[in-house]
Amino acid sequence: MTLDVIHSALISYYRLNEEEARGAEEDLSVWFQRLARRGGAGHMPPKLLRISLLSAACQYGRSFQLWKLGGEQSADNSLNELLAREPDEVAGDLDRRFEGERS
């Protein structure tokens, strides 16, 4: 379910296209597998891992979209508003959404 949330965040929030989102997800997957092994095996609890993954996805989506815009504003105001927000804050919203869908 986390993967669905990440995919939809990259596509619907950060407006990456399908190919860009797939590339992002591949990188995130590689990174996440290492994140889970930091500081000794089994060190980080699942909830913390999930929040870190969502945060990384948002940072990726934001950085990538900013790079595509090349310093210009988007014609889409809702995208500009999202890019102005801290990725961790957006990740927090996504996590609450994830928790809501699980319960």
Partner 1 sequence: MTGRVLPFRGRPLSSEAGIRAAERVLSTPIDERVSKAKALHLEDPETLLALCGLIRERMSASPASAKLEAEFLYRFIESPRREIGLFDERDYFLGETALLTGMACRCLSEREEAWIWFDRAEAGFRHTMNAPAEMSRLSYQRLAERLEERQFDLVLELLPSLVESFQKLGMPEDALKCRFLEGLAMFERDDPSAAIRVFNAIRDEADAMGSQTLLADAYVNLVHAHGMLGEAEAAIEASRRAIPILRELDNRISLAKVHWGLATLLREEGRIAEAVDSYRSAQEDFDAIGMRADIAALNLVVADLLLEEGKSVEALREISEALPVIAELKMAPEGMAALSLVRESVRRQEVNRQALRELHGYFQELQN
| Residues at the contact surface with partner 1, assessed by CB under 8 A | 27, 30-31, 33-35, 37-41, 43-49, 51-52, 55-56, 59-60, 62-64, 66-67, 83-84
**Least Å distance between CB 35 and partner 1?**
7
Closer CB to partner 1, residue 26 or residue 101?
A: 26
- Using CA of residue 70, residue 75, residue 60, residue 28, what is the dihedral sign? negative
Closer CB to partner 1, residue 11 or residue 31?
A: 31
